[in-house]
Amino acid sequence: MAAFGGTAAAALVPSPTVTGPIPANAPPGDPSHDYPQVATPLDLASLGYVEEEYFFSGTANVYNTPPLTTATVLSSGHPYKSRVIVRRPTSAAKFNGTVLVEWVNVTSGYNNDVMFRASQDHLIRAGYAYVGVSAQRVGIHGPAGLIAWSPARYGTLDVTDHGTVGNDGLSYDVFSQAAQAIRTPVGASILGGLPVQRVVAIGASQSQGRLVTYHNSIHKIAEVFDGYVLYLGLGGKLRTDLGVKVFKVDTETDLLFLGEVAARQDDSDHLRTWEVAGASHVAFSDFALRVLLVTRDSLPPPTPQLCTQQPALSHTPAFHVLNAVYEHVSRWVTDGTPPPTAPRVNVLSAGPPVVLERTSLGLSTGGIQLSQQAVPTAVDNGVNSGPGLCFLYGSHTPFDAATLSRLYPNHGSYVSAVSHVTNDNLAAGYILPEDAQADMQAAAQSDIGKKSR
């Protein structure tokens, strides 16, 4: 599909009625909760951005979605009303033309904007517009969903047709129509009139799985997206006959425990898959910000402290790779420039259980080797256990002093090795200059290889 070119299928997706922006009548953290759930704590105004929330409504179909084939309509005419949260440049001069539309994750019961938080610094620096869509029932009607969290603000929302649709049957049309509201607004313009060139669907974990189904079963019906970024996979295979550009990014956890080894597909002119060695499904890089938000908003917290392997959460920054992916996708859907390919993580056995090749230090081999993995100061991996979602958390086990001294006899050798690997990853297109600089600066400022006095 040409960038924002429009198709006959896209013209058939109804444009929902949009109202808003819905005013935030209280500051984030106020007990009234009369502000957007999980509103960003960033000072967006100082960055030339604004956060706004809109409601949108229409009618949706329920679909039968057999694997790897186009959906059929089971029933139609179901009314719905949902919300989007928008973070966008305030001026067209700052906007890069790409809108990222996240299927907001609801695994924790609330509207968790995983993709935005992971890459927020890059997205704002590079001028993206972001739209987070609340498409699923749990995120609106669940115990920590929007209605229970703030009934005065969100009490009119409904994605169940007054309780008659008991699953997420309406979610696909809700998501399509949110994208159509970007393309052909009816009522309020959720992007404030910005000149949109590309609309890309993004989602992580459970939302990644929903988007795999959407791609396979709904894309051919709707064709409102120019491309897809699928992060933290759950083992679903993609149709190969659609041609729309899809970029997958997986971590070690996804390969070991979530079916992504069995779901591997060859790269092609419309599919890229990058696998980040040593990274975990739930990331250390996001933990502090997520805790801040859920504490502020009185939502259920993540609990890595309960996991068997401590400290939990890999420090390998897969989001550096994700940042680069957004740049590649924007070019790919605009002018056909193919993204670079990357080696896959080395698998000794597809299992079950899946067994990865590891070094004598316990580090997985192959895949994209960021400096944290290729020039290690700890064993970062995608393995953990314990209650709840601990199997997603991975772990970070620092090396003892003797191992560090053996690996890095002086500080200069460590910094040089980090710089070499990081510059190689930059040249390969796996990371961006800003993230490369941050890694090399962190190495230079560390005490690794320095002799204690």
String of DSSP letters for 150-199: -HHHHTT-BSSTTTT--SSTTHHHHHHHHHHHHHS-EES-TTTT----EE
Domain extent at residue 96: 13-231
Burial call 185-202: b when 16+ CB within 10 Å, e when fewer: bebbebbbebebbbbbbb
20 exposure class (CB count in 10 Å sphere: 0-12, 13-18, 19+) = middle
Q: How many CB atoms lie within 10 A of CB 132?
A: 27
Residue 116 amino acid letter: F
Q: How far apart are CA 117 and CA 40, in angstroms?
A: 8
Q: Supply the pLDDT for residue 3.
A: 40
Residues listed for the chain: 453
Of 209, 231, 253, the residue at which a domain comes to its end is: 231
291 belongs to a structural domain? no
Regarding whether 217 and 302 lie in a shared domain, the answer is no
As for how many domains the chain has, the answer is 2
Q: Supply the pLDDT for residue 187.
A: 83
Regarding whether 141 and 220 lie in a shared domain, the answer is yes
Residue 122 amino acid letter: H
Regarding whether 225 and 327 lie in a shared domain, the answer is no
How far is Cα of residue 362 from the mean position of the Cα atoms in its chain? 27
Regarding whether 302 and 225 lie in a shared domain, the answer is no
279 belongs to a structural domain? no
CA distances from 314 to 36, 318, 383 (A): 30, 10, 9
Q: Supply the pLDDT for residue 10.
A: 65
Regarding whether 197 and 49 lie in a shared domain, the answer is yes
Regarding whether 191 and 309 lie in a shared domain, the answer is no
Find all residues with CB under 8 Å of 390, minimum gap 6, and list them.
Answer: 303, 304, 306, 307, 308, 312, 384
* 441, containing H or E segment: helix 433-445
293 belongs to a structural domain? no
Adjacent-strand bridge partners of 396? 380
What does pLDDT average to in each consecutive run of 10 residues of the chain (453 residues)? 49 93 98 98 98 98 97 98 99 98 98 98 99 99 99 99 96 99 92 97 99 98 98 98 98 98 98 99 95 97 96 98 99 98 99 98 99 99 97 98 97 98 99 99 97 64
Of 191, 207, 231, the residue at which a domain comes to its end is: 231
Residue 79's region, left for phi above 0, alpha for psi from -120 to 50, else beta, is: beta
Q: Supply the pLDDT for residue 388.
A: 94
Of 179, 199, 231, the residue at which a domain comes to its end is: 231
Regarding whether 346 and 206 lie in a shared domain, the answer is no
260 belongs to a structural domain? no
329 belongs to a structural domain? yes
Q: How far apart are CA 34 and CA 429, in angstroms?
A: 43
214 belongs to a structural domain? yes
Which tokens belong to 190? 């959720």
Regarding whether 33 and 182 lie in a shared domain, the answer is yes
Q: Supply the pLDDT for residue 2.
A: 35
The answer to whether 74 touches 64, Cβ cutoff 8 Å, is yes
Regarding whether 205 and 79 lie in a shared domain, the answer is yes
Regarding whether 340 and 202 lie in a shared domain, the answer is no
249 belongs to a structural domain? no
Q: Supply the pLDDT for residue 166.
A: 87
Regarding whether 23 and 138 lie in a shared domain, the answer is yes
58 belongs to a structural domain? yes
Residue 427 amino acid letter: A
- CA neighbor of 312 nearest in space, from 386, 384, 254, 253: 384
Q: How many CB atoms lie within 10 A of CB 184?
A: 14
